[in-house]
Chain A
Amino acid sequence: MQLQRLLPVFLSEADEHLQALEEGALQLERHGPTPELVAGLFRSAHTLKGSAGALGFQRIAKLAHAVEEVLEALRAGRTADGLADLLLECVDTLRALRREVSDGGEHTDVDEVVQRLQAWKEGGTQDGLHPVDVRVRLREDCPMRAARALALLRMLREHAQVEQVAPPEDAIAQGQLELEFTARVRARQPEALQELLAGPEVESVRVMPAWEARDERWLDLGPQARGKLPDDPELTRRASLRTVRVDVERLDRLMNLVGELVVDRIRFQQIAERLRRLDGANGLAQELAEAAGHLGRVASDLQAQVLKARMLPIEHLFSRFPRYVRDLAQRAGKKVEVVLEGQDTELDRSVIEQIGGPLMHLVRNAVDHGIEPPEERLRLGKPAAGRLRLAAVQEEEGILVVVEDDGRGIDTDRVREKAVRLGLLTAEEAARLSEEEAVELIFHPGLSTASQVTDVSGRGVGMDAVRAGVQALGGSVEVETQRGRGTRFVLRLPLTLAIVRALLVSCGGEPYAIPLAGVQEIVEVPAERLHRVGSYRATVLRGNALPLVSVHEALGLPAPENPGRLLCVVTGGRRRVGLWVDRVLGEGEIVVKPLGSYLGQVDGVSGATILGDGRVALILDPSALVRLALREEELAHVG
């Protein structure tokens, strides 16, 4: 049925419109109505109404229509008091309805909200003032047009409430006026305005009722015009045709498929081996093995690309916060200003999902406990509104997400006290801790400086959960605080969850990881099959000589006494090398961590990973190993 097909599109577009309405309402509250803002809000409500109506979602359409009418009244001059709250309520109701329709039907009642919207709309015109647009055209020979316009506006002010002027008065005062200006006013006697403004330098005065003033600047433009409105970056961004909507599930399925490709490559190798045994030493098996090798490398590339496709700008997460903080602050009786920075920094989708919880917790702490109530702040000489800064910065090794407030800072005395009370430390130990160590205590499980139980998941809501959550992603959390000045949390996150399937081996007692894509096979070589060829050891594998080398030799580390008994055959291009390993520890997915710029390029090593026991294991680069090993061997030959 058509509905089934269109529903997902409607739902995701509805989310965007609702987000736009919410942001617009917050803007309205903070900066007041501007023509662009109101036009944008109108477009969102209007489009939502249309789509909902087409799919038969009556309640959504009805509410969206009521919002439209209210916005219309706003355009026509109604002042915006109290509208932001009302609009946000509408957004909440619409969101509830959106969730309901994705499950099957609309349940929430909208009549009450619609009634309140209508009441608001009517509230405005009860003061007997009529909203009109006054368009004045000056004569071409009018001297000092800007001054004349200002003088006329002065006069207008004595007889009407001037709400907006186009071009803006500041611009006019700078001399930026051609011949015409328009003022949106509310007057008791609009008809008298014409005569009032008439004069020798005035060519014409037109007074029109505001709702008839359909001027390009106020109109809803169609899709063709999108991108032509210079002040609406949101619109331009959404209308951009360079992106395609992809279902998250599809991406995840892609990821899984690619992962399986990589693993299947090994099976091809095994099939190639069996083929060789059946067909004897002909080239077919070799060809198959090479093709499989190539497949493996392509699969790895694909995997990297899909990972990149899963990257989202952190704006998706940050954009929830202004509303969240506004509600929190209201409930806590505080004033908080939210500053967002680095919104287009990109992160892997799952990283974004998983830091949402920790971030919300940190923000909640900041608003509930960090930032002081307005009176206290004023007494301390701080601005009444607290400042909460959420920033994302890309660093070489990952992304930094900062949550910073200018509130009270962490009271280390109280933290120490609490630790002692909970039996974590003795009083002396607590006293001996440095400031930094005391602050670190907040991450101790069981010591939550916040004692509320508001977390939805019901799990431990302490800072320990925050840190654990971030560390599970391969990241870390640090805190800096200063009594009376504020607190800053820095979350370090990996760029992507660069996950690779790897073989974990032990060589000379040290663990190493070798990406599976470079591993051909693992064989055990009995002593009889070892040969000396020149100065290096080799064995014969399926009729071909295979140079043998220990990982340590390949890396230039001192070779261990007993070079293991297992051979890990790794390939780099067409050449192969057998690596001695002591043991195969296992196979699994590892998170790739860069070694950093200080160490620069380390030959044979492509990164590092942290094992389950906290040790660092180097990730070997099979192709480089082969190259290094063979070069060593060549050098040894020459030397």
Chain B
Amino acid sequence: MDAQRGETKEQQLVVVRLDRERYGVPIEHVHEIIRMQEVTRIPRAPSFVEGVINLRGQVIPVIDLRRRFGLAAGERNGASRIVVVEMNGSRVGMVVDAVLEVMRLPDSAVVPPEELLAASEVAFLRGVAKQGDDLILLLDLQRVLEVHEQRALAELQTA
């Protein structure tokens, strides 16, 4: 029951923390946010795939966003969360260090990532926004959850 389709020129994001950066996930794709729970490992999955969890009777895969971005593995503590996103009909959980807030950003505050970051860092981003002294990196979920790239990886590992 979307009330805001195309009406306003702003976007709503769930802001999460990974390492020292803040990332924004478009709220329309966020299904829910849950605490860390026991994850069942999946054999021969790419390293960023944590495994699967039981989400109210549904088995869904969970990825570690830090590892997805090539960052060092993080410490899991009470603040860690799994952000369950829904995209193209499937649900995937993403482990983050913490969930900070839900924020509204005017579209005008978003600039293309190349303007502020080096090319190597923009792989999974669709934009960047300045908020005071901070930068919020807007995730391109499609790229983050790219399946065929990940499948290719998986194939590599089983060969």
Give me the interface of A with B, judged by CB distance under 8 Å: 395-397, 436, 471, 474-476, 480-482, 485-486, 488, 492, 510, 555-557, 593-600, 602-605, 608, 610, 614-618
**CB nearest to B158 among chain A residues:** A603
Contact with A along B117-159 (1 / 0, CB 8 A): 0000000000000000000000000000101001100100110
Task: Point out the residues of chain A lying under 8 angstroms from B92, CB to CB.
Answer: 598
- The CA of A534 and the CA of B51, in the complex, are separated in Å by 33
With an 8 A cutoff between CB atoms, is B24 at the interface?
no
Task: Point out the residues of chain B lying under 8 angstroms from A482, CB to CB.
Answer: 1, 3
Out of B3, B52, B90, which one reaches A616, CB within 8 Å? B52
- The CA of A482 and the CA of B1, in the complex, are separated in Å by 7
With an 8 A cutoff between CB atoms, is B58 at the interface?
yes
Are B40 and A614 within 8 A (Cβ)?
no
Task: Point out the residues of chain B lying under 8 angstroms from A395, CB to CB.
Answer: 89
Out of B49, B53, B56, B89, which one reaches A476, CB within 8 Å? B56
Out of A471, A475, A488, A593, which one reaches B59, CB within 8 Å? A593
Are A557 and B52 within 8 A (Cβ)?
no
Q: How far is the CB of A494 from chain B (nearest CB, A)?
A: 9
Are B89 and A617 within 8 A (Cβ)?
no
With an 8 A cutoff between CB atoms, is B38 at the interface?
yes
Contact with A along B1-30 (1 / 0, CB 8 A): 101000000000000000000000000000
With an 8 A cutoff between CB atoms, is B113 at the interface?
no
Are B58 and A492 within 8 A (Cβ)?
yes
Q: How far is the CB of B84 from chain A (nearest CB, A)?
A: 12
**CB nearest to B41 among chain A residues:** A557
Out of A474, A557, A595, A603, which one reaches B57, CB within 8 Å? A474
Are B45 and A599 within 8 A (Cβ)?
yes
From 90 to 128 in chain B, residues with beta carbon under 8 angstroms from any chain A beta carbon are: 90-92
Task: Point out the residues of chain A lying under 8 angstroms from B44, CB to CB.
Answer: 555-556, 602-604
- The CA of A488 and the CA of B58, in the complex, are separated in Å by 19
Task: Point out the residues of chain A lying under 8 angstroms from B56, CB to CB.
Answer: 471, 476
Contact with A along B32-66 (1 / 0, CB 8 A): 10000010111111000101111111111100000
Are A610 and B59 within 8 A (Cβ)?
yes
Task: Point out the residues of chain B lying under 8 angstroms from A492, CB to CB.
Answer: 57-58
Query: Can you offer 17 A-B residue contacts whose CB atoms are under 8 A?
Result: A395-B89, A471-B56, A471-B57, A480-B1, A485-B1, A488-B1, A556-B157, A556-B158, A598-B145, A600-B154, A604-B44, A608-B40, A610-B59, A614-B54, A616-B51, A616-B52, A616-B59
Count chain A CB atoms within 10 A of each CB in B32, B59, B89, B157 and give the residue with the most.
B59
- The CA of A615 and the CA of B37, in the complex, are separated in Å by 10
How many residues of B are counted as interface, with CB atoms below 8 angstroms from the partner's CB atoms?
Answer: 33
Task: Point out the residues of chain A lying under 8 angstroms from B3, CB to CB.
Answer: 482, 485
**CB nearest to B88 among chain A residues:** A597
Out of B38, B52, B147, B151, which one reaches A595, CB within 8 Å? B52
- The CA of A225 and the CA of B115, in the complex, are separated in Å by 74
- The CA of A599 and the CA of B150, in the complex, are separated in Å by 8
Are B90 and A598 within 8 A (Cβ)?
yes
- The CA of A469 and the CA of B52, in the complex, are separated in Å by 24
Are A476 and B90 within 8 A (Cβ)?
no
Are A610 and B158 within 8 A (Cβ)?
no
Q: A475-B57, A492-B58, A616-B59 are in contact. List 19 more A-B contacts (CB 8 A).
A: A395-B89, A397-B58, A471-B57, A476-B55, A482-B1, A485-B1, A488-B1, A555-B43, A556-B43, A556-B44, A556-B158, A596-B90, A597-B90, A598-B145, A599-B42, A603-B44, A610-B57, A610-B59, A618-B40
**CB nearest to B147 among chain A residues:** A598
Are A510 and B41 within 8 A (Cβ)?
yes
- The CA of A616 and the CA of B89, in the complex, are separated in Å by 21
Are B1 and A600 within 8 A (Cβ)?
no
- The CA of A604 and the CA of B41, in the complex, are separated in Å by 13
Are B42 and A396 within 8 A (Cβ)?
no
The secondary structure that dominates the B interface is mixed
- The CA of A600 and the CA of B44, in the complex, are separated in Å by 11
Are B58 and A605 within 8 A (Cβ)?
no
Task: Point out the residues of chain B lying under 8 angstroms from A485, CB to CB.
Answer: 1, 3
A-B contact count (CB 8 A): 93
Q: How far is the CB of A395 from chain B (nearest CB, A)?
A: 6
Count chain B CB atoms within 10 A of each CB in A396, A471, A595, A616 and give the residue with the most.
A616
- The CA of A397 and the CA of B59, in the complex, are separated in Å by 10
Q: How far is the CB of A370 from chain B (nearest CB, A)?
A: 13
Task: Point out the residues of chain A lying under 8 angstroms from B158, CB to CB.
Answer: 556, 603
Contacts A555-B44, A600-B154: A396 and B59 contacting too (C-beta < 8 A)? no
**CB nearest to B157 among chain A residues:** A556
Are A600 and B40 within 8 A (Cβ)?
no
Out of A396, A481, A594, A615, which one reaches B38, CB within 8 Å? A615
Are A604 and B154 within 8 A (Cβ)?
no
Out of B1, B43, B150, B157, which one reaches A557, CB within 8 Å? B43
Q: How far is the CB of A23 from chain B (nearest CB, A)?
A: 31
Task: Point out the residues of chain B lying under 8 angstroms from A471, CB to CB.
Answer: 56-57
**CB nearest to B151 among chain A residues:** A600
Are B45 and A602 within 8 A (Cβ)?
yes
Task: Point out the residues of chain A lying under 8 angstroms from B59, CB to CB.
Answer: 593-596, 608, 610, 616
Q: How far is the CB of B146 from chain A (nearest CB, A)?
A: 10
Q: How far is the CB of B49 from chain A (nearest CB, A)?
A: 7
Are B57 and A599 within 8 A (Cβ)?
no
Give me the 4 closest cross-chain CB pairs, A-B, nearest first.
A555-B43, A616-B40, A482-B1, A476-B56
Are B53 and A616 within 8 A (Cβ)?
yes
Q: How far is the CB of A394 from chain B (nearest CB, A)?
A: 11
Contacts A436-B32, A555-B43, A602-B42: A476 and B57 contacting too (C-beta < 8 A)? yes
Task: Point out the residues of chain B lying under 8 angstroms from A436, CB to CB.
Answer: 32
Task: Point out the residues of chain B lying under 8 angstroms from A596, CB to CB.
Answer: 59-61, 90-91
Q: How far is the CB of B145 from chain A (nearest CB, A)?
A: 7
Are B61 and A610 within 8 A (Cβ)?
no
Q: How far is the CB of A628 from chain B (nearest CB, A)?
A: 9
Task: Point out the residues of chain B lying under 8 angstroms from A595, CB to CB.
Answer: 42, 52, 59, 61
Q: How far is the CB of B147 from chain A (nearest CB, A)?
A: 6
**CB nearest to A617 among chain B residues:** B40
Are B43 and A599 within 8 A (Cβ)?
no
- The CA of A488 and the CA of B2, in the complex, are separated in Å by 12
**CB nearest to B53 among chain A residues:** A616
Q: How far is the CB of A476 from chain B (nearest CB, A)?
A: 4
- The CA of A593 and the CA of B58, in the complex, are separated in Å by 8
Task: Point out the residues of chain B lying under 8 angstroms from A602, CB to CB.
Answer: 42-45
Task: Point out the residues of chain A lying under 8 angstroms from B1, CB to CB.
Answer: 480-482, 485-486, 488
Contacts A395-B89, A555-B43: A597 and B54 contacting too (C-beta < 8 A)? no
Task: Point out the residues of chain A lying under 8 angstroms from B54, CB to CB.
Answer: 610, 614-616
Q: How far is the CB of A82 from chain B (nearest CB, A)?
A: 39
Are A476 and B58 within 8 A (Cβ)?
yes
**CB nearest to B2 among chain A residues:** A482
Task: Point out the residues of chain A lying under 8 angstroms from B61, CB to CB.
Answer: 595-596, 598-599
Q: How far is the CB of A485 from chain B (nearest CB, A)?
A: 6
Task: Point out the residues of chain A lying under 8 angstroms from B49, CB to CB.
Answer: 599
- The CA of A486 and the CA of B3, in the complex, are separated in Å by 12
Task: Point out the residues of chain A lying under 8 angstroms from B51, CB to CB.
Answer: 616
Task: Point out the residues of chain B lying under 8 angstroms from A557, CB to CB.
Answer: 41, 43
